Amino acid sequence: MAAPALSSLCAAFALSLSLVAGCTSDGPRPQGPRAVPSAPARGHVYEAVVRLGDTLHTLYRTWPAHLARSADLPELPLVEVREVENRGEIEGVELETLGWELNQQLRTQGRLRVLSDESSLVPATGENAPPELGAGPRHAGLVLYPWVDAAGRFCLMLEDAVKDERVAVARSNTPEPARLETR
């Protein structure tokens, strides 16, 4: 009778050891709350656009001739703005809101002409109207890639689509203070 009880006791002991070993094999678990980057806010978009504008002003007093220009603002090159990506996989990032804010900031800054604005021009009528105004689809010479990085910063990369080269990169300087996540 002692043999079955002893084997049950040994089995229970072995099971408890394997559970303990499994729990501790990953190393110590962090205690308390951990820092999680916060989603960028409107101020981050503004800061990144200002930094991009400053860089572009330094690089180009006038834009290269190979870039497609706006029909109604010929001094401005056309830029295609891609959708904002959440590369940092940060919770709470509102990509559509950030994209809308980015387009608004680009319009306000006035260094680039957003392609979607150009495409929405009403075709001109009359003898004196420029023929290219509203004359169909246009292609941008510049492409702007926006994303949120793992630190919660709003980042921008401007690429020359004609020459297939990077023009400038800008990001918001400091993310919001990290919020604490408790489990």
Main-chain dihedrals φ then ψ at residue 76, nearest 5 degrees: -105, 135
Angle between helical axes of 42-59 and 95-109 (0-180°, round to 10) = 40
What are the residue boundaries of the structural domains of the chain, listed by start?
A: 35-174
Residues 105, 109, 114, 118, CA torsion sign: positive
DSSP percent split of the chain into helix, strand, coil, nearest 5: 35, 20, 45
The domain 35-174 having CATH identifier 3.40.50: the answer here is yes
Give residue 168's pLDDT. 95
pLDDT of 2-33, one tens digit each?
A: 566 656 655 655 555 555 555 554 555 555 44
| Beta strand residue intervals within the chain, DSSP E | 34-36, 78-81, 85-86, 113-114, 142-148, 154-160, 165-171, 179-181
CA pair distance 95, 113, nearest whole angstrom: 21
Predicted TM-score (pTM) above 0.85: no
pLDDT range class, residue 61, cuts 50, 70, 90:
confident
CB 92 within 8 A of CB 175: no
Give residue 62's pLDDT. 86
For residues 169-178, average pLDDT? 70
For residues 145-156, average pLDDT? 92
pLDDT of 73-95, one tens digit each?
A: 899 999 999 999 999 888 888 88
Instruction: Give the tokens for residue 84.
Output: 């904002």
Number of C-beta neighbours around residue 35 at 10 A: 10
